[in-house]
Amino acid sequence: QAKDMDRNNFQFFSSDLNVKVMERMVLESSLRRALERDEFQLLYQPQVDVITGSVVGFEALLRWHHPDLGTISPEKFIPLAEETGLILSIGEWVLRTACRQAKIWQDAGLRPVRMAVNLSGRQFRMKLDEIVAAILLETGFDPRWLELELTESILMRNASDNIELLQALTAMGCSLSIDDFGTGYSSLAYLKHFPLERLKIDRSFVRDVTTNPDDRAIAKIIIDMAHTLKMEVTAEGVEEREQLELLKRYGCREMQGFFFSRPVPAASAEKLLRKGITF
Ligand code: C2E
Ligand code: MG
Ligand code: MG
Ligand code: MG
């Protein structure tokens, strides 16, 4: 009986694996065509200064509208895009689209705000500065308003090579922030060697910040550390007023999350900017 079970389990796992392999192949081949078929869209989530109550930036967040599967989350296709190298062309599209959109808003006379763009590890090569420079030139977007979001793991991998690249990007006028901060393993001593402008507190600490003393302590430490290192800090994933009030009391000035707005299409983002919403 044990043997039967083993065999069944084996079959179960093996067909399960086949399904996964098939799914992946189908997804990969459609991902290859997604750019030319214009299936990507950027949504924009406002970042709010909670002292003034106004929008000070947007984070560009990628969506893939698959013709059969519907909208696919970046958590699902970014890893595949990274493995296949497609992230290089997709990432360029994201940068260009975000810069172009922000430039359109500025040209329309709207109050200038930051545009934050996520980068993945594969994009983090020596050529990234050239790609960014070319896109800035092409779109005419002022790099002072461009913020590039990296993760701790990107930063820590080849840390010494990265410093030069990061310096090249900041020399151009771009600013750099660390996304999902607190979830990685960056050495604090190392942080100060990088030209970083901002830490983004990961939303896993924000979620229970009003009820969990550990998360509250972590959030407070990150805020204090950012300020000690002369960095800005943004809290991600703020969904409730209580979270906002507590983090504000701890000295966190900028926040992003469903409490303010979900990520929205460009037209709705523009309306938010025009309204100059106050929260
Ligand atoms: P991220 O950069 O940390 O982006 C924040 C994510 O949290 C977004 O998920 C956003 O929709 C979600 N979020 C924002 N506020 C709240 C909130 O109050 N509650 C909750 N539960 N969630 C909130 P999204 O758009 O699904 O993106 C997931 C991740 O995919 C991003 O995490 C980022 O790492 C990656 N990603 C998105 N767009 C791009 C891109 O253009 N390039 C690269 N390389 N990665 C991207
Ligand atoms: Mg991000
Ligand atoms: Mg994040
Ligand atoms: Mg993330």
Average pLDDT, integer, range 66-74 = 94
**Residue whose C-alpha is closest to residue 223's, from 246, 195, 241, 257:** 246
Q: Which protein residues are within 6 Å of ligand 1, measured from CB?
A: 45, 61-62, 73-75, 78, 91, 94, 118-120, 179-180, 203, 236-239, 256-258, 263
pTM over 0.90: yes
- The pLDDT of residue 155 is 87
Mean pLDDT is lowest, of 39-43, 87-91, 123-127, 146-150, for 123-127
**How far, in Å, CA of 181 to CA of 225, rounded?**
12
Identify the residue with better confidence: 124 or 233.
Answer: 233
Residue 84: partners with Cβ closer than 8 Å, 6 or more residues away: 28, 31, 32
Average pLDDT, integer, range 5-24 = 68
Taking only the tens place, the pLDDT of each residue in 150-196 is 999 888 887 788 899 999 999 999 999 999 999 887 777 778 889 99
pLDDT of 34 > 80? The answer is: yes
Ligand 1: residue of 118, 202, 239 to mutate (most ligand atoms within 8 A of CB) is 118
- The pLDDT of residue 126 is 66
Ligand nearest to the CA of 75: 1
CA 236 – ligand 2 centroid, Å: 9
What are the structure tokens assigned to 85, written together? 């190298």
CA 200 – ligand 2 centroid, Å: 8
- The pLDDT of residue 9 is 54
- The pLDDT of residue 125 is 73
Give the CA distances from residue 70 to residues 4, 22, 66, 73, 255, in Å, rounded to whole numbers and listed in that order. 40, 18, 5, 10, 30
CA 179 – ligand 2 centroid, Å: 5
pLDDT of 6 > 70? The answer is: no
CA 245 – ligand 3 centroid, Å: 20
- Which residue has the CA at smallest separation from atom 37 of ligand 1? 61
Neighbours of ion ligand 3 (CB under 5 A): 179-180, 236
Task: Determine how β-strand 146-150 pairs with β-strand 40-49.
Answer: unpaired
Ligand nearest to the CA of 61: 1
CA 102 – ligand 1 centroid, Å: 19
